Amino acid sequence: MTPIKAALIDLSGTLHVEDQPTAGAVDALQRLRAAGVAVKFVTNTTKESVGSLYDRLVAIGFQLERKEIYGSLTAAADYVKSNALNPYYILTDDARKDFPEGDSSRGHDSVVVGLAPERFSYEYINEAFRILQQSKGSARLVAIHEGKFYKTKQGISVGPGCFVKGLEYSSGVKSVCIGKPNEYFFRSALPSGVDPSECCMIGDDPSDDCLGAMAVGMRGFLVETGKYQPELYDKDSLPKVSGIFRNFAAVVEHIIERVNV
């Protein structure tokens, strides 16, 4: 097996669930770094700005640098800037901080949707729909990601994907999806000088994390601490990932003991 030089690590459901690190994750991250594996944290989390994510991870015990976090929010903000868009945002106030200021001298020419539970109401969705509908096809619908659901302390909860799909359905405007599992998201997250075959993605989403990364030639390791629901699969229909592990710490042991020997 090709040794692993770099690991892309998902946050929510993999390193932590809300304010709780997954079992052994804090130490495992240190062991992975000590083994010489470069790490980058790749997240579709759109509820929190990169600064807030960083603060939260440090507060629950992880050692990392802010610049090691590569999120779909950052990638989406780059997309808005490079296309000089003036979007209507369906985002939390915190996530909105990562985007450029609005231009009140012109109308909205696009809609940006992230995970924003308090904004997923008829009022906001309808305003977004009107912008898309009235532009006669010129407005863009930018999905920070199309997650179906995610795990919270209260249980499994609906993600932004169904609101993006609903807006597509009603307006006829096809969305541009920025975050995982897009190929260019994984490619741009890859540290320079590392070949995809020397990199793994560790995450709790079989398709968006693992299969997305595997499509560009990385290994995809799935953990059982987040949204992955083993009871939905039988032994013949298990996701075709590179490995399924109890938690993040178990993946790290696998990399150190079996792959990078």
Interatomic CA distance for residues 66 and 50, integer angstroms:
8
49 near Mg ion (CB under 5 A): no
Which residue of 10, 98, 146, 198 would you call a contact of Mg ion, by CB under 5 A?
10
- Residue number of the CB closest to Mg ion reads 13
Instruction: State in angstroms the smallest separation of the CB of 42 from Mg ion.
Output: 10
Tokens of 19: 């304010």
Instruction: State in angstroms the smallest separation of the CB of 180 from Mg ion.
Output: 9
> What b/e string do you get for 210-227 counting C-beta neighbours within 10 Å, with b at 16 or more?
bbbbbebebbbbbbbbbb
**Taking CB under 5 A as the criterion, which residues in 12-31 touch Mg ion?**
12-13
Instruction: State in angstroms the smallest separation of the CB of 176 from Mg ion.
Output: 22
Q: Which residues pair with 65 in a beta bridge?
A: none
Instruction: State in angstroms the smallest separation of the CB of 58 from Mg ion.
Output: 19
Residue 2 region by backbone torsions, left for phi larger than 0, else alpha for psi between -120 and 50, else beta: beta
Q: What are phi and psi of 90, to 5 degrees?
A: -110, 85
**Taking CB under 5 A as the criterion, which residues in 217-256 touch Mg ion?**
226
Q: Are 194 and 6 in contact (CB under 8 A)?
A: yes
146 near Mg ion (CB under 5 A): no
Neighbours of 174 (CB within 10 A): 10
State the number of binding residues for Mg ion (CB under 5 A): 5
Over the window 195 to 224, marking each residue x when it contacts Mg ion by CB under 5 A and - when it does not, the resulting string is ---------x--------------------
Instruction: State in angstroms the smallest separation of the CB of 232 from Mg ion.
Output: 16
Judged by the rule CB under 5 A, the positions of this chain that interact with Mg ion are 10, 12-13, 204, 226
